């Protein structure tokens, strides 16, 4: 339904409004960083990258490049040093410095690291100049170094039966459709940056630190962002180098990364290794969980470098009641590009580990996957529940989500299994997989400003940025309800621009609807408070006799005497909403797969998925998040992997070699659903929890269990992804093990 199809006010929250963003985005009218017309005289940037690493750069003569026509400057590491370091979220004691430099040398931390920046009038001239540079590098092996270690939980317990699992996650490319892109424009004594970022204010602060500038001199300008997934939450060396060069030369500079540069040097995701031992009694009740989480962090730390390991550790033991839990998490500085957060950021790894352990225990005890989970899921009345790792699961009905997923899958587990067994008897390789999960979301604060103009239009500036998820649509729905406007299209939404929005955090960690929306709600309440005395004066009434009414205010005693928002204009307020606690979404996925015995290809025949994300501001947007997440979850478990040779040289440097899931890898059928009664978040006025990361959490866990079921059980140690070759080999092993 289009905006405005409703005459009375209120009730926009919860409606599946179409995205106001789509007309532009789907017709090529988006305004991404690379679409901004470059001012005259803009220089094009290209990087010389280390062909291997770690290495020592012993010689780099810039003269041959500088001699080429059109080349304006060639910078090396000593030309553009970092004045200071970008911030790192110091979750753990002893975390080392960020290790950030715009350009690297003489110590080069890894293959692909930028060692020189060439600026020229045309891209071709810049590329020729990069080729004219002949660096001398000597291999300089660097040992891994510990970055942090921490323990979680209340200590190990004893149990009569134990099962073990080890999961090795591949390094993944978050692979946003829009690669990194920056246009840096020095202007009027400031530096304006059109930058593809999910955290514009953080980018401003970090660039100010690296360039040694007052943050007020930097303007990160808004625009469309074509996906981020965690990889655009911290600035990268290349972006800082471009900004520093533009400032140094006082000339505009543009850089747009190629897809290969993204595979080579952009922040990566996953890469955790986890081992666990889970103890049960003879009835399948979990008694203890011990786990080790080990994170390769790359050669430098992004802001959230410690988050995946921390999340994986603290998300244990998931939605289950486990009395004794002992987790050790550690991170290591490793000679490779930065590895940081990526959609899910540790939550998928925790869920996959737990769900493998649950299935192993079920197999050992002769229980169905459903039975063992029912025995261990926390019941609704146990929530809020403080877990042994110190988290508080706020609200939800986990057993009901399992029931809902079964209903979406077509019935009781026993019936699904009987169907599977009948097909197996005919020689088919069919598998069923189940996974339950929790998803922590929404911490900390976010900002909003709301202004009302003389035409009655409302402008909101939100700290939650948009990166293709439909934030403008959702923000307008929230504000329309909060201000009792007749139509969300009356609300203009500004975001992503450090000059136009109050200091904010950005779009990450499943926080935009709950926390960003909470700030919008709070700002709307403040606007009402500020407007009420003005409305009262205009209505010749006392402020306490005036109440919010459709489109503005009315007299409590005589609702026919009303006044619209336009009458109190202009008016503007700001709010910062701080969540007192975290919200926890939850869900359950059931997957049915069929394997091709000849090729090992996995066909996902059916995916049933129930997710409880509290209040859904816009069910259509929520469904979009589920689809995007499940696609990335499929890639994570079945095909994606950043591959390198023994020397660390990238083998998966293009979309021909890095196996993103494609249309044919998608499930043949998907049944999405939610609970009959969503569990309201307790940490924000909307009751909204997060849903953006859920698809990468439960879906891969259920798929892994389904493939395991189809091949007669996976070994204790599993390396992801389970490629077609791996599946083929498992099928060739000769029967169930
Ligand atoms: S991994 Mo996300 O963008 O917090």
Asked whether residue 177 is domain-assigned, the answer is no
- In this prediction, residue 95 carries a pLDDT of 95
Q: 521 and 383 in one domain?
A: no
Asked whether residue 448 is domain-assigned, the answer is yes
Query: Is any atom of ligand 1 closer than 6 Å to the C-beta of 303?
Result: no
Give dist(CA 160, CA 248) in Å, integer.
Answer: 67
Q: 595 and 524 in one domain?
A: no
- In this prediction, residue 1 carries a pLDDT of 29
Q: 547 and 407 in one domain?
A: no
Phi, psi of 280 (to 5 degrees): -135, 160
Query: Ligand 1, from 338, 468, 693: best to mutate by most atoms within 8 Å of Cβ?
Result: 693
Q: 564 and 538 in one domain?
A: yes
Query: Is any atom of ligand 1 closer than 6 Å to the C-beta of 229?
Result: yes
Q: 55 and 103 in one domain?
A: yes
Name the closest-CA residue to atom 3, ligand 1: 230
Closest atom of ligand 1 to CA, residue 230: 3
- In this prediction, residue 734 carries a pLDDT of 63
347-356 in b/e form (b: 16+ CB < 10 A) is bbbbbbbbbb
Give dist(CA 334, CA 254) in Å, integer.
Answer: 30
Asked whether residue 223 is domain-assigned, the answer is no
Domain count, the chain: 3
Whether the Cβ atoms of residue 191 and residue 218 lie closer than 8 Å to each other: yes
Q: 600 and 570 in one domain?
A: no
- In this prediction, residue 9 carries a pLDDT of 60
- In this prediction, residue 10 carries a pLDDT of 75
Give dist(CA 100, CA 118) in Å, integer.
Answer: 20
* Residue where one domain finishes, among candidates 140, 165, 187: 140
Q: 465 and 359 in one domain?
A: no
Query: Ligand 1, from 234, 509, 625, 691: best to mutate by most atoms within 8 Å of Cβ?
Result: 509
Residues in the chain: 737
Whether the Cβ atoms of residue 678 and residue 662 lie closer than 8 Å to each other: no
Separation of CA 507 and ligand 1 centre (Å): 8
Query: Is any atom of ligand 1 closer than 6 Å to the C-beta of 342?
Result: yes
**CATH code for the domain of 588:** 3.30.365.10
pTM for the structure as a whole = 0.96
Q: 574 and 618 in one domain?
A: no
Q: 560 and 479 in one domain?
A: yes
Query: Is any atom of ligand 1 closer than 6 Å to the C-beta of 263?
Result: no
Q: 558 and 451 in one domain?
A: yes
Q: What residues contact 734, with CB distance under 8 A and at least 6 apart?
A: none
Whether residue 721 has a cis bond before it, omega within 30° of 0: yes
* Residue where one domain finishes, among candidates 578, 602, 625: 578
Whether the Cβ atoms of residue 461 and residue 495 lie closer than 8 Å to each other: yes
Separation of CA 74 and ligand 1 centre (Å): 35
In which residue are the tokens 């030369």 written? 249
Asked whether residue 5 is domain-assigned, the answer is no
Give dist(CA 202, CA 505) in Å, integer.
Answer: 7
Whether the Cβ atoms of residue 694 and residue 351 lie closer than 8 Å to each other: no
Whether the Cβ atoms of residue 626 and residue 699 lie closer than 8 Å to each other: no
Whether the Cβ atoms of residue 515 and residue 442 lie closer than 8 Å to each other: yes
Give dist(CA 391, CA 236) in Å, integer.
Answer: 32
Query: Is any atom of ligand 1 closer than 6 Å to the C-beta of 687?
Result: no
Nearest residue to 564 (alpha-carbon basis) of 529, 539, 530: 539
Q: 717 and 611 in one domain?
A: yes
Whether the Cβ atoms of residue 436 and residue 586 lie closer than 8 Å to each other: yes
Angle, CA of 677, 680 and 684, to the nearest 5°: 160
- In this prediction, residue 124 carries a pLDDT of 97
* Residue where one domain finishes, among candidates 73, 106, 140: 140
- In this prediction, residue 4 carries a pLDDT of 33
Q: 716 and 592 in one domain?
A: yes
Domain that holds residue 659: 355-441+583-731
Asked whether residue 723 is domain-assigned, the answer is yes
Nearest residue to 397 (alpha-carbon basis) of 169, 675, 17: 675
Mean pLDDT per 10-residue section of the chain, whose length is 737 residues: 42 97 95 97 98 97 98 98 97 94 98 98 98 98 96 96 98 97 98 98 98 98 96 98 98 98 98 98 98 98 98 98 98 97 98 98 98 98 98 98 98 98 98 98 96 95 95 98 96 98 96 97 98 97 95 95 96 98 98 98 98 98 98 98 90 97 97 96 97 98 98 97 97 68
């Amino acid at each position: 339904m289009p905006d405005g199809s409703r005459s009375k006010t209120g009730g926009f929250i919860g409606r599946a409004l179409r995205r106001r963003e789509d007309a532009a985005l789907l017709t090529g009218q988006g305004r991404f960083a690379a679409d901004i017309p470059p001012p005259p005289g803009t220089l094009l940037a290209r990087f010389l990258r280390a062909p291997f690493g770690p290495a020592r750069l012993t010689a780099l003569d810039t003269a041959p490049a500088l001699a080429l026509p059109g080349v304006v400057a060639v910078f090396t590491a000593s030309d553009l040093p970092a004045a200071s370091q970008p911030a790192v979220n110091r979750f753990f004691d002893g975390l080392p410095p960020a290790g950030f430099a715009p350009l690297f040398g003489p110590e080069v931390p890894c293959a692909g690291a930028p060692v020189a920046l060439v600026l020229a009038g045309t891209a071709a001239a810049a590329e020729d100049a990069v080729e004219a540079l002949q660096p001398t590098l000597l291999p300089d092996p660097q040992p891994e170094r510990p970055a942090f270690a921490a323990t979680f939980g209340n200590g190990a317990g004893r149990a009569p039966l134990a099962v073990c699992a080890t999961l090795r996650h591949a390094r993944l490319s978050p692979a946003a459709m829009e690669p990194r892109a920056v246009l840096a424009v020095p202007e009027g004594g400031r530096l304006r940056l059109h930058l593809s970022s999910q955290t514009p204010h953080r980018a401003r602060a970090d660039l100010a630190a690296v360039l040694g500038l007052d943050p007020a001199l930097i303007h990160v300008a808004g625009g469309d962002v074509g996906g981020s997934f965690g990889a655009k939450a911290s600035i990268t060396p290349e972006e800082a180098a471009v900004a520093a060069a533009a400032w140094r030369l006082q000339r505009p500079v543009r850089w747009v990364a190629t897809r290969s540069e993204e595979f080579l040097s952009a922040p990566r995701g996953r890469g955790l290794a986890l081992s666990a031992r889970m103890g049960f009694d003879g009835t399948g009740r979990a008694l203890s969980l011990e786990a080790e989480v080990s994170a390769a962090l790359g050669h430098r730390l992004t802001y959230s470098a410690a988050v995946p390991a921390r999340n994986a550790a603290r998300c244990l033991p998931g939605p289950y009641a486990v009395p004794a839990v002992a987790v050790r998490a550690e991170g290591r500085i490793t000679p490779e590009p930065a590895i940081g957060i990526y959609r899910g950021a540790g939550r998928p790894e925790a869920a996959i580990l737990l769900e493998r352990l649950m299935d192993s225990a079920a197999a050992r005890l002769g229980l169905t996957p459903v039975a063992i989970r029912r025995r261990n899921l926390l019941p609704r009345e146990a929530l809020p529940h403080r877990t042994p790792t110190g988290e508080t699961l706020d609200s939800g009905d986990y057993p009901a989500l399992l029931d809902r997923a079964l209903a979406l899958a077509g019935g009781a587990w026993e019936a699904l299994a009987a169907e599977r067994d009948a097909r197996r008897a005919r020689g088919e390789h069919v598998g069923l997989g189940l996974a339950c999960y929790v998803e922590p979301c929404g911490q900390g604060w976010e900002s909003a400003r709301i202004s009302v103009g003389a035409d009655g239009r409302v402008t909101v500036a939100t700290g939650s940025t948009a990166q293709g998820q439909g934030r403008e649509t959702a923000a307008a729905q929230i504000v329309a309800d909060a201000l009792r406007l007749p139509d969300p299209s009356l609300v203009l939404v500004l975001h992503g621009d450090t000059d136009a929005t109050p200091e904010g955090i950005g779009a990450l960690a499943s926080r935009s609807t709950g926390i960003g929306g909470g700030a919008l709600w709070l700002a709307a309440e403040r606007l009402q408070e500020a407007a009420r005395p003005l409305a009262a004066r205009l209505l010749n009434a006392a402020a306490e006799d005036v109440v919010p009414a459709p489109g503005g205010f009315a007299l409590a005693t005589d609702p026919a005497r009303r006044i619209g928002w336009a009458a109190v204009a202009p008016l503007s307020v700001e709010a910062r909403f701080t969540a007192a606690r975290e919200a926890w979404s939850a869900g359950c996925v059931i997957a049915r797969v069929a394997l091709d015995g000849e090729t090992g290809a996995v066909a996902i025949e059916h995916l049933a998925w129930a997710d409880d994300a509290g209040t859904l501001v816009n069910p259509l947007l929520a469904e979009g998040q589920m689809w995007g997440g499940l696609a990335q979850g499929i890639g994570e478990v079945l095909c994606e992997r950043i591959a390198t040779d023994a020397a660390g040289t990238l083998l998966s440097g293009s979309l021909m070699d890095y196996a993103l899931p494609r249309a044919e890898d998608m499930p043949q059928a998907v049944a999405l659903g939610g609970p009959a009664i969503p569990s309201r978040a307790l940490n924000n006025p909307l009751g909204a929890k997060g849903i953006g990361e859920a698809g990468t959490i439960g879906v891969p866990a259920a798929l892994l269990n389904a493939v395991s079921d189809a091949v007669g059980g996976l070994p204790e140690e599993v390396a992801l992804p389970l490629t077609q070759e791996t599946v083929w080999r498992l099928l060739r092993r000769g029967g169930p093990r």
